[in-house]
Structure 1
Amino acid sequence: MSSILAGIFDHNGDYKRLENELENSGFGNSHYIVYLTEDHHHAQFLASVEIKDNEQSQKARDVFQGNSVLKTYVFENMKISEASYSTVKKYIDARSKAEIHNSPDVKKKSQHTGMDSEVKF
């Protein structure tokens, strides 16, 4: 069964270029979806591509990387007809909540000797 490779792209990305590169890589118009908001010129956008094997997966990943993808997700056993915006967004939200994010750097102080004889009261 096929899987879906979904990618979140920066607001500076060009969705038309992404569509052209996907089609030039062998993906038909019915094998991918680019989700846009009403203000698609200044917002992030999301794209889903139906992949059937490792070769198609690598081609789609290469196209995504060439278009400055921020994050990719693979959803197994899903067809492009099942990849509505609300479904894909729900799965991405669930995976994001399950991820362990990096904590900020913690600075550790070295052990000191405490007060010594030079301290005067």
Structure 2
Amino acid sequence: MRDILKKELILLGILISISFAGCVDQNPEEYYSKGILQYDDGNYTESIDLFEKAIQLNPEESKYWLMKGKALYNLERYEEAVDCYNYVINVIEDEYNKDVWAAKADALRHIEGKEVEAEIAEARAK
């Protein structure tokens, strides 16, 4: 009886380990890479979902925010794109990232009343 109980507990432990295996140690770079593939195929909504998963796992990585912003830009969600770029500049403090400033300038040009901010961002991109 003890041997059967012991075997059942071991089996239960293995099943629990297997069920949690997919939840632990997920690599944000995998989500990012999949997001890039979706982005390159023009599947911007899907790419945003993948970039967000990468961001959840590593919110301090500038490139995840930059690509999320670019995908939002391609969906004409310019203000949300600017929010992503501002996050990189202000929160991550990657204020010298010229790609982010250039992307921010592009997005700002599509938002009415943001012409001066667009010019400032464009100057920072140089």
Q: TM-score, normalised by structure 1?
A: 0.27
Higher relative contact order (CA 8 A, sep 6+): 1
Q: 1 or 2, which has the higher strand percentage?
A: 1
Larger Rg: 1
Q: 1 or 2, which has the higher helix percentage?
A: 2
